[in-house]
Amino acid sequence: MKTISFTNLDRKKRVETLKNTEFDLVVIGGGITGAGIALDAASRGMKVALVEKGDFASGTSSKSTKLIHGGLRYLKQFDFWLVKEVGSERAIVHKLAPHLVIPEKMLLPLIEQGQYGKWLTSIGLKVYDILAQVEGDDKRKMLEKKEAMKLEPLLPKKILKGAGYYAEYRTDDARLTIENIKTSLKYGAVPINYTKVTEFVYNDEEHVSGVKVTDTITDEMYEIHGKYVVSAAGPWVDDLRKVNHSKKGKRLHLTKGVHLVFPHKKLPVQQSVYFDVPDGRMIFAIPRGKVTYVGTTDTNYTDDKDDIEVDMADAIYLISAVNNMFPSIQLELSDIISSWAGLRPLIHEEGKSASELSRKDEIFTSHTGLISIAGGKLTGYRKMAERVVNRVTKLFEEDHDKEFEKSQTEDISLCGGPFKNYKEVKKYIKSLTERVTPLGLTAYDAWFLVTTYGKQAETILERFEKLKDKDAHVRLAKAEFWFCAKFEMLQTPSDFFIRRTGRLYFDIDSVLKLLDPVLAEYEQLFKVDSAKVSAHKKEIEDEVKRHADFDLEGL
């Protein structure tokens, strides 16, 4: 696949294109749903613009549990359709980006007085396999106590009765979003971040025919015109429906999900575990590189959507859950090294609690023609996009007598590939490890490069070899920053540390160590003044403290 460059200077060209083109479709929202819609529509031949008020994936799509999973717990709600669809999608999304969507065996401990008994778990996992069309080694197994303890010695031996063992996939949600957006470029889509929709444009029939936007980097205001407009703005969907004077009928119900990150040596699980919490919920403990992360909570949220905090109650709840399942660990607040909190834009259902709300997506079309989509799961993003674009193609047939092809995205490999399968990914990691260790890097660095960028690691390493810094990790970070600025529409150092690389969550110690060299690279590439560099430095230092500081005084 051709690598497409989008430097900072190209932003000006993109703005001019956005101003001077009538698009077939304008997509609002640069999360995974909007990214999926842009790729689906552009690959069918539509002229597509995508606008995001912050950075791509800066909302819900960088703050999930980072799993492409079938939603086993939805069987308990008899939501078989959802389990079938997202379960089937796991294998497809893995095929599209096996370096980003990685097989992850999941252990479901069966404990005395737990939610899941052996017989019901066996039946449930069997139904899960059937609905999700699971094949081969990925099919579920039921384990005896001894087998479960061998896989995960930290489990509570006294109350453990056995375990279910089944397959899911782990991902980096922000990277998945960005690679979908980058792939849409191949088909002519014009995405832009840091561009906020402030109002809608209407035609003579009072139908939506575009958006008014403000570039939050330059403060420039302009209009983008399109035959149809789709809002995939996640938690902000109802805000835009209000601007459109169409917030009627069904509405969003926002719930907050919190995750905590610990050094792997503090929570040394040998593999992913999906386990009981005494209050009846289930949470995940997932090892990832140097860390293990735990989540998630599910509580109603009505506060500021742009400033979602992990509070003391969230942290204590999750730590208590971990200590209950892994009694030999005894985590404390001081063990937290990072965290994140995000919102789920669910559809409100009267009388249902946060955990009982359906994760199904729904599409709303207003009297002015604004199409909005909300709900859904990360795993189902491709099918959600397909449904939205199917609706748009039908409108094209009715209004313009124009036909477009069916969805192509099941067979479009994402940027970073293609890889035939995960076996090929592992082989590539091994070969890259052998190449980079003599250069001062480590096996972890090779794993990180491949599971973050795939084969795009080659371009980063070419840049790495041209740099003169003595510290190999400084050279690597600068090479990555250059790559993200040139090819991934990065605009700020925070974009780099949080969404392009995930370092704030999964390698937080490296952030402050690499901050000054990355800021120097930012200053040089973006030609910004020292005051702006200083402001970004403080912003990132504050972010590190906010995500990692869980002392009682600080909260």
Each residue of 513-530: pLDDT tens digit? 999 999 999 999 999 999
**pLDDT at position 352 over 70:** no
> How many Cβ atoms are within 10 Å of 260's Cβ, its own excluded?
30
Mean pLDDT of 147-161: 94
Which residue has better confidence, 296 or 53? 53
The single residue listed with the structure tokens 């000054």 is 516
The pLDDT, as a whole number, for residue 88 is: 82
Residue 72 banded pLDDT, cuts 50, 70, 90:
low
Place of tokens 């009627």: 248
User: How would you classify residue 456: left for phi > 0, otherwise alpha for psi between -120 and 50, otherwise beta?
Assistant: alpha
Q: What is the pLDDT of residues 179-227, one digit of tens each?
A: 999 999 999 999 999 999 999 999 989 999 999 999 999 999 999 999 9
CA atoms of 73 and 53, how far apart (whole Å): 33
The DSSP secondary-structure symbol of 378 reads G
- Can you tell me the mean pLDDT for 482-502? 96
Helix/strand/coil for 397: helix
Choose the weakest-confidence range: 2-16, 142-156, 263-277: 2-16
Backbone angles phi, psi at 263, to 5 degrees: -60, 140
Instruction: Considering only CA atoms, give the Rg of the chain.
Output: 23
pLDDT at 89 over 80: yes
Cα dihedral across residues 143, 147, 150, 154: positive or negative: positive
pLDDT digits (tens, 9 = 90+) for 160-180: 999 999 888 999 999 999 999
Percent of the chain with pLDDT over 70: 93
User: If pLDDT is split at 50, 70 and 90, which confidence band does 79 have?
Assistant: low
Residue 292 or residue 278, greater confidence: 292
Q: Are strands 208-215 and 221-231 parallel, antiparallel or unpaired?
A: antiparallel
80: left (phi over 0), alpha (psi -120 to 50) or beta: alpha
pLDDT at position 9: 47
Position 2 scores a pLDDT of: 44
Indicate if the pLDDT at residue 333 is higher than 50.
yes
Q: Of 198, 255, 247, which Cα lies nearest the Cα of 60?
A: 255
Report the pLDDT value the prediction gives residue 389, as an integer from 0 to 100. 98
DSSP letters along 112-170, please? TT-S--HHHHHHHHHHHHHHTT--GGGS-EEEEHHHHHHH-TTS-TTTEEEEEEEEEEE
Strand 282-288, strand 291-295: pairing: antiparallel
Q: Which uninterrupted H or E stretch holds 398?
A: helix 381-400
Confidence (pTM): 0.94
Residue 234 has pLDDT above 50, yes or no: yes
Upstream peptide bond of 296 is cis (omega within 30 degrees of 0):
yes
Collect all residues with Cβ–Cβ distance below 8 Å to 372 and sequence separation of at least 6. Answer: 230, 231, 232, 233, 237, 240, 241, 363, 364, 365, 366
Averaged over 398-406, what is the pLDDT? Answer: 94
DSSP at 235: G
Is the distance from CB of 51 to CB of 73 less than 8 angstroms? Answer: no
Task: Give the model's pLDDT for residue 535.
Answer: 96
- In the chain the domains, ranked by start, together with CATH numbers, are 8-60+174-250+360-411 (3.50.50.60), 101-169+253-356 (3.30.9.10), 422-548 (1.10.8.870)
Residue with tokens 């083109």: 21
Q: What is the mean pLDDT of residues 76-84?
A: 69
Query: How does the average pLDDT of the chain come out, rounded?
Result: 91
Q: According to the model, what pLDDT value does residue 546 have? A: 87
- Position 1 scores a pLDDT of 38
Looking at residue 121, its pLDDT comes to 81
Residue 357 has what pLDDT? Answer: 58
